[in-house]
Amino acid sequence: MQQTLEIIKADSRGSADHGWLKAKHTFSFADYYDSKRVHFGVLRVLNDDIIAPYKGFGTHPHQNMEIITIPLKGELEHEDSTGMKGIVRPNEVQVMSAGKGVYHSEKNPAGVPLNLFQIWIFPNKKDVEPRYDQKKFDEAESIDINQLLISPDGRNKSLWIYQDAFISRRISSGTHPFSYEKFIGSNGVFAMVVEGEAMINGEKLSKRDAIMVGNDLDISPSKGLHILFIEVPINN
């Protein structure tokens, strides 16, 4: 029996409009607070941000958090106190282990809006040396395949973080049903429809809708479905 814990419709997310930044918050963040949506296990933040051209977040600190950034459209310029500096683009993923403390800035260096997901996951090791990594993933390898982006150990050419968590994506070329089977049986799965529509565990989800489950997922996609899976420990 499939265990659906919650469905989060896109229009029920928290919102913020700062002019240069338009954000949607799946979980409580900054001025948005919902006591029922603070986190999903060790998944603390999933922000869907649109950043105006040539604007961004100035230098600010983080500590003891695994921060994953996934650009969807546009470019992200990153600079941090470890000396790392670079541009992150669609089909690339950035990870930063804040550990015992790091400062960084994130800006849109281009003349078109930047849309990105920023994900925060509580680590299973505290006060580590801060680290940064970035990788380009072949989109073709996500067509009708659950493509692993993040793992605890870098398996299948993924990036790694300090947590027993897994982030995958998949793009459907048709309407053939598929499933998401968990890597760790005790984990939960947060799945968001990035684009398109799908029936997931019997529930119809559209663009930016999400579902949180304790078991595996059965998915009947529409053509062009782009879905993101975030599997995390939920009993910590």
Q: Which residues, other chains included, contact 140 with Cβ-Cβ below 8 Å and sequence gap of 6+? A: none
Span 127-141, average pLDDT:
96
Higher pLDDT, 162 or 224: 162
Helix (H, G, I), strand (E, B) or coil at 208: coil
What's the confidence (pLDDT) of residue 1? Answer: 38
Is residue 2 pLDDT above 60, yes or no? no
Let me know if 169 is exposed, middle or buried by CB neighbors in 10 A (0-12, 13-18, 19+): buried
Taking alpha carbons only, the member of 164, 91, 93 closest to residue 124 is: 164
pLDDT range class, residue 236, cuts 50, 70, 90: low
Is residue 223 pLDDT above 90, yes or no? no
Q: What is the pLDDT of residues 196-219, one digit of tens each?
A: 999 999 999 999 999 999 999 999
Span 178-198, average pLDDT:
97
pLDDT range class, residue 3, cuts 50, 70, 90: low
| CB contact at 8 A, 197 and 206 | yes
Beta bridge partners of 210: 8, 192
Q: What is the pLDDT of residues 135-178, one digit of tens each?
A: 999 999 999 999 999 999 999 999 999 999 999 999 999 999 99
Range in 21-25, 43-47, 81-85, 120-124 with the lowest mean pLDDT: 81-85
Distance of alpha carbon 233 from alpha carbon 122, whole angstroms: 10
Helix (H, G, I), strand (E, B) or coil at 128: coil
The architecture CATH gives domain 4-233: Sandwich (2.60)
CA distances from 176 to 21, 40, 138, 220 (A): 37, 29, 22, 7
State the sign of the Cα–Cα–Cα–Cα dihedral 116, 117, 122, 125.
Answer: negative
What residue ranges do the domains of the chain occupy?
A: 4-233
Mean pLDDT across the chain? 95
Q: What is the pLDDT of residues 33-49, one digit of tens each?
A: 999 999 999 999 999 99
